[in-house]
Structure 1
Amino acid sequence: MSNNDLITSLAILKTNWDHKKSYLSNFIPFISQCIIDNRPEVLSTFDLKEQVEKRFGISIPHNTIKSILSDMKKLDLTTSKDGIYYPNYSTLTKVNFAQLKQDFLRKLTYFLKGFQRYCKESFGIDISEDEASELLVTLLKSRNIDLLNCHIFGAEFPAASIRDNKFNQILYSYIKNIYFNEPDRWEYFVILLKGQMLSTVLMYNDPNALTRKFKNTDIYLDCPLVLRYLGLEGETSEVPAKELFQLLLDLGAKIKCFKHTRDEVRSILHAAKLSLNDYRDKKLNLPVSMHFIKIGYTPDDIERLIYCLDEILETNGICLVENPQYYYKYALDEEKLIDAIDQSIVYFTENKISRQNDAASLYAIYRLREGNSQYFIEECKAILVTSSRNLCIISYDFFVREKLIKEETLPMAISEHALTNYLWLKNPIKFSDLPQNLLIADCYAAMEPGDDYWREYMEKVEKLRARNEISEAEYFLLKYNSDVKEEIFGRYIRDVPLYDGTPKELIERHNNGLIEKEKAEKEKAQKYTEIVRLIAVVSILIERRLSIERENKYKNKSEDKFNSQKQTIDKTVLRREHLALLFSKIGLFTLYIIIFALGLWISIYEYNGGSEHLRWITGIMAGIFLVVQFIPINNEKVWEKIKNWLYHSANRILIKFFYPQ
């Protein structure tokens, strides 16, 4: 690529770096659009890799896609649960990638049609759309900076180059014509300019990238990576590991493992063999055991695998080496290192083999480097590649804290994801043979930052052009610094998916509760240090004491308030009941007087005489009243009923009007 492309790429990367925008974030819109188009239930790197490559022609490693999914989670484009990533369609639908791409292609077609018509009317030349597109891409690559300066800063329209051929000069004259006479079409052309400049960031190929190979640097693998590379944990783990190894081999790295790592692999295979004979063994839940069951391996098959392990490692390009010789000069407190590992990493098994091997590997790398501080992976002599992010952090923090290495020194270990990202960024990004105009349209839709950024881009372009020297190394350094450096040094940890596979496998894993079972096994296997347990116990006791005090305090306040309210209510109820009882007695006495008076009056009236019919009526009434007069005295039930009725009636009247509850 031209020096023009290098300047453009550097300017855009520098501006994005100033705004805390990483290089990998440029690929988020590509992943997002594939998710929107296919609408999967769960996110599989296998599916996403295939879709991105098919749709956009970009080949992204599985581990890098995991890193991008982690970055998307921070933007609320994805969510995660139990190590599986899910799309967040409520946010993803706001990504306007497809609209921007269609708008770009529409404006490109409009511009090309105008150029074809210009060639026909002004020069009598018929030119196809493909030929016009090819001419446009070539011109944009050589004159993009000058033409965009003209638009943004109002600079003088640049003169045509005398080295251009006939068709390039015709195209340039057309661009000059629309600049002065057709402002709408010129605005369309500016969009094409921006798309081409943005595409250089992704499509720029550093010619010296592959010449900066590993120099006397050996890559050592930890046990999980050996298992994955040999395909002993299944295809979903094998494919990303082999992608990483191929990137290493392309750069001339030597892949090795220590003999104690080989011995750990053997112990895992032996445990898997035993688990096939006892389905109740918890080791059955290890990925190796599950893989052997899936492919129908017998204990005899695993025994042959154990016996031929050295030969299998050699066949797959992994060199088996002894631990380096011990030198007093490079001594360190191994027990202290093991304790640091034990406090930060939870292992599946209760034995100490895994943590001792991890400590031995880090110590071996330190001795292989002869205690020297190293700053570049390609020249660091030795480095351990691991699947454990916490081990990477320890490999830096412990050695710096113990003053065994300087700060900003390369750690003893690097994660498989960080190394994959580093190597992928180091290599030119591979695009398939899609038409250039489609690639430019995709890059514009994915990376268009808005008008505010473009002035900053062009200001940095002019500063870079004013410098006497610029290098491809600076371009790679910006790509590396924007993403991988913080991850390598353990300052930035991506929450990558723990589980991968096809969507069907991920859904089955979720539905069958395998994740919950595996989590349960991990929880059983966890062993905390004595100090952590002590802190936990003390914290619980303190919290319990405070909780009891709060409850007692609240209880006392509640009881006092209740007693006060109860006393008030009791006084009110007693007063009301006393009045109701008094009113019932008065009413009952009044009723008795009325009955007695009526009976007496009727008796006197009957005695004094009157009509015969009237004497009969008053006689009957006198008899009734006389009987009624004696009922309350002789019949206690009737008396009590009348008394209760009067009492309750008086009580209701008092509650309603004078003593509401």
Structure 2
Amino acid sequence: MTVNAIVSMAMLKVNADRAGRSVLENFRPFVLDRLYHSGTEAVSTPSLRSAISAEFGIDMPSAVIQTLTNGMARDGLLKKDHGILVFNREDFAKHDLSSSRATAQQNYEMLMRAGVAFAKDDFGVDLTPEQFAGSFLEFLRDETVPLLKTVIEGRPIVADPQVEVGSLKYVVASFVLSAFQNDPTLAVALSTVVKGGVIASALYFPDPAGIDRRLGGLRIFLDTTLLLRLTGACGPDFQRAADDLAALAISRGASLRCFDHTLKECLGVLDASASNVRRGGGHYYGEATEYMVAAGWTYSDVIQFRDAFEEKLASAGVTIHDKPEHVARLTVDEDRLDAILQGEVHYTSTEARYKDIDSITSVYRLRRGRAASSLARAGAVFVTTNTALVRGARKFAKLEELERGLIPLCIPDFFLTTALWVSQELVSPNLPSKQLIADCVSAIRVDHHLWKLYVEKIDRLLQSGDVSPDDYVLLRQSLEVRALIMFDTSEEPENFTDATVEKVLERQRMNIALEADAEAQRTLDDARQREVAVRREAAKTREGLERAKDTLAADRQSLLAKAEAAARGVSLAAIGTLAVLAALGAIFSFPGLLVQQLSGLVSFIISASVFAFLALSLFSLVTERGLPFVHRTLQGHLTRWIGEHVYGTGNWSPVESLGFETIPATPDDELD
């Protein structure tokens, strides 16, 4: 048991239990600071990596930066804009560590100068600031707990009776007590340096006896894109990210593999790239082809690369592995997996989908169907850059109740790289202690309440006495893997950040142009659809008007028929009456039957009828038109009069009566 292990374990457990903070989150402030100082508002992973290394001495893999920036995007600190991540630099001013780092370094320097003066004045010991700093930091490592209680709880440090009076350790202990009790300004500086030193020692905890190499049984199967990146087919930026994963895995004892069907897919991609390079021009899809065209590769360059591809894999530490034979008890519902993957990934190639199914089911068989509670016990895992594939595999595993352990069959590459990096021994940056302490205390800000919880947990762990360095490292690894595995890949934004700022902005401009073209096409398509809809509606309206017109015309004809029938009856009645009266007149013209014997009115009617009948006879004689003509003429006039005055069928238009204007016809072929 070591004090450093106990302090680090206490901080780890309190952060996990109370603050909900993972070890990885401790590195977020470094990324935020460099984003603010980047001079641009676009996120570039390679640029960030270089800036963090130059400023803080931390060699942070691109995948770790990607994981952190994805988390920032989920938290709203970064925004997605046309396929890249951007931020408002003014809003990031609060993440600038410059002022707090400068203050912490000033406190460090002030404390060391005061220590030199104290050693000279009180003990007659001449020391340089560097010599006193070395003795102070050694004292901090040996007496971490008492020093923490001094600055957190206000307990004066008690000198160890076994320490020789006048020794450097005694001088430092005396200085700490004097500074804490007699000088508030030095007490603040002491608190800053102690806290920064404790945070740094916990963050960069040394690997006890090679415990990090406990992944000797893990076989990491890489997907097509990762293999192409690892061999340099996608350019140096992608290759560096893949190299990070390979180096971390191999250093931890894991082995890199690829299935035979994945190798064949890689060779197929390179064949397609060769054809595209030879053809030249046009649009290209896929990292390999895009890089080769942009870098000016020739057809023969690609062919040469393809022919040496297997040797390049071997040089990178990758071995080819046949997929395991099918076993009845380890057979899963591949039809269900096929449907789920198609729904998540939306493959355009059936062959690519089948290869992914083979990879996932092969890993399941290699695990012998057993649950994997940790990377060390997983045995095999399929690693991919395709987060949609990861989602599909996890959805299938849950439905089939295969995901009973912690480590899924298929995981994202950035997850594995981050898990391997953050759970390993993190080498302390090669920086002066002053800068390292200032960086840690300014970046990882812990409030007083949390520091008190740290001290309480330290006391409990000291009393139990069962904490070893191995315990701390294993818990740290387990907590980090669990924190990462909870990452929901459905929330992971698909953003382009793995390139220089110039290339990232170029991709943004390209995406803007593509989106503008797509929007213009959508607008044109919408206009055409609206035009077709209007024309179809007009056609329907015309059809309705024609039907209404036909209906009204039929109604009019029906009314005219009724008017004609009524007119015929009236005409026949009139002519019949006239004929009867004329006949009566003829009868009364016989001798002995005098019309004068009748009443005056009747006599007048009969006489008039006789004369009318005589007039009709003369008309017929002259015009050669008889009573039928008279009947038809009278019937026609009566029909028009009855239709107009009784049935309202005068000079009307069915369309106008509905209140519509005439709509021009549209040719049928214009409606397509």
**Structure 2 length-normalised TM:** 0.72
Amino acid aligned to 2:450: Y
| Structure 1 CA distance for aligned equivalents of residues 97 and 187 of structure 2 | 23
Change (3 A) 1:309 1:409: same
CA apart distance, 1:280: 6.8
Amino acid aligned to 1:253: A
| Structure 1 CA distance for aligned equivalents of residues 494 and 427 of structure 2 | 23
| Structure 1 CA distance for aligned equivalents of residues 331 and 473 of structure 2 | 36
Structure 1 residue aligned with 2:440: 443
- Equivalent residues in 2 for 1:82-93, closer than 5 Å: 82-93=82-93
Which deviates the most, 86-95 or 247-256? 86-95
Structure 1 residue aligned with 2:190: 189
| Structure 2 CA distance for aligned equivalents of residues 276 and 147 of structure 1 | 66
Change (3 A) 1:80 1:251: same
CA apart distance, 1:279: 5.0
Structure 1 residue aligned with 2:412: 415
Pairing partner for 1:394 from 389, 392, 395? 392
CA contact (8 A) 1:396 1:490 kept: no
CA contact (8 A) 1:16 1:22 kept: yes
Structure 2 residue aligned with 1:433: 430
Change (3 A) 1:138 1:332: same
CA apart distance, 1:454: 1.4
Amino acid aligned to 2:169: N
Change (3 A) 1:515 1:500: farther
2:81 is equivalent to residue 55 of structure 1: no
Which protein has the larger Cα radius of gyration, Structure 1 or Structure 2? Answer: 2
Q: Which runs of 5+ in 2 are unaligned?
A: 523-672
Amino acid aligned to 1:172: A
* Structure 1 residues 513-551: Cα deviation after superposition (integer angstroms, max 9, x where no partner): 488379979x99xxxxxxxxxxxxxxxxxxxxxxxxxxx
CA contact (8 A) 2:159 2:173 kept: no
CA contact (8 A) 1:115 1:132 kept: yes
2:351 is equivalent to residue 353 of structure 1: yes
Structure 2 residue aligned with 1:245: 246
Which deviates the most, 378-387 or 270-279? 270-279
| Structure 2 CA distance for aligned equivalents of residues 519 and 245 of structure 1 | 40
Which deviates the most, 412-421 or 212-221? 212-221
Which deviates the most, 354-363 or 303-312? 303-312
Amino acid aligned to 2:12: L
Identity of aligned residues (%): 24
- Equivalent residues in 2 for 1:534-553, closer than 5 Å: none
Pairing partner for 1:510 from 508, 511, 520? 508
| Structure 2 CA distance for aligned equivalents of residues 515 and 203 of structure 1 | 46
Count of matched residue positions in the alignment of Structure 1 and Structure 2 = 518
Q: Once superposed, which parts of structure 1, at least 4 consecutive aligned residues long, lie more than 6 Å away?
A: 517-521
CA apart distance, 1:44: 1.5
| Structure 2 CA distance for aligned equivalents of residues 517 and 132 of structure 1 | 62
Structure 1 residue aligned with 2:664: none
CA apart distance, 1:274: 2.6
* Structure 1 residues 566-608: Cα deviation after superposition (integer angstroms, max 9, x where no partner): xxxxxxxxxxxxxxxxxxxxxxxxxxxxxxxxxxxxxxxxxxx
| Structure 1 CA distance for aligned equivalents of residues 471 and 356 of structure 2 | 35
Change (3 A) 1:503 1:433: same
CA contact (8 A) 1:384 1:413 kept: yes
CA apart distance, 1:435: 1.0
**Secondary structure, aligned partner of 2:208:** coil
CA apart distance, 1:96: 5.1
| Structure 1 CA distance for aligned equivalents of residues 450 and 265 of structure 2 | 53
CA contact (8 A) 2:104 2:438 kept: yes
Structure 1 residue aligned with 2:258: 257
CA contact (8 A) 1:221 1:385 kept: yes
CA apart distance, 1:298: 3.0
Structure 1 residue aligned with 2:630: none
- Equivalent residues in 2 for 1:137-148, closer than 5 Å: 137-148=137-148
2:9 is equivalent to residue 13 of structure 1: no
CA contact (8 A) 1:209 1:428 kept: no
| Structure 2 CA distance for aligned equivalents of residues 291 and 184 of structure 1 | 57
| Structure 1 CA distance for aligned equivalents of residues 177 and 279 of structure 2 | 80
2:467 is equivalent to residue 501 of structure 1: no
| Structure 1 CA distance for aligned equivalents of residues 424 and 218 of structure 2 | 18
| Structure 2 CA distance for aligned equivalents of residues 307 and 213 of structure 1 | 36
Amino acid aligned to 1:245: A
CA apart distance, 1:242: 0.9
Structure 2 residue aligned with 1:199: 200
CA contact (8 A) 1:234 1:291 kept: yes
Structure 2 residue aligned with 1:543: none
CA apart distance, 1:211: 4.7
Amino acid aligned to 1:383: V
Amino acid aligned to 2:136: L
Amino acid aligned to 2:265: E
2:484 is equivalent to residue 487 of structure 1: yes
Change (3 A) 1:517 1:244: farther
| Structure 2 CA distance for aligned equivalents of residues 338 and 489 of structure 1 | 25
- Equivalent residues in 2 for 1:158-173, closer than 5 Å: 158-160=158-160, 162-163=162-163, 166-173=167-174
Question: Alignment RMSD, CA only?
Answer: 2.7
Amino acid aligned to 1:385: V
* Structure 1 residues 2-29: Cα deviation after superposition (integer angstroms, max 9, x where no partner): 8222222222222222222222221122
Change (3 A) 1:132 1:299: same
| Structure 1 CA distance for aligned equivalents of residues 85 and 376 of structure 2 | 33
Structure 2 residue aligned with 1:544: none
CA apart distance, 1:146: 1.1
CA apart distance, 1:295: 2.8
CA apart distance, 1:103: 1.8
Change (3 A) 1:229 1:161: farther
Structure 2 residue aligned with 1:317: 317
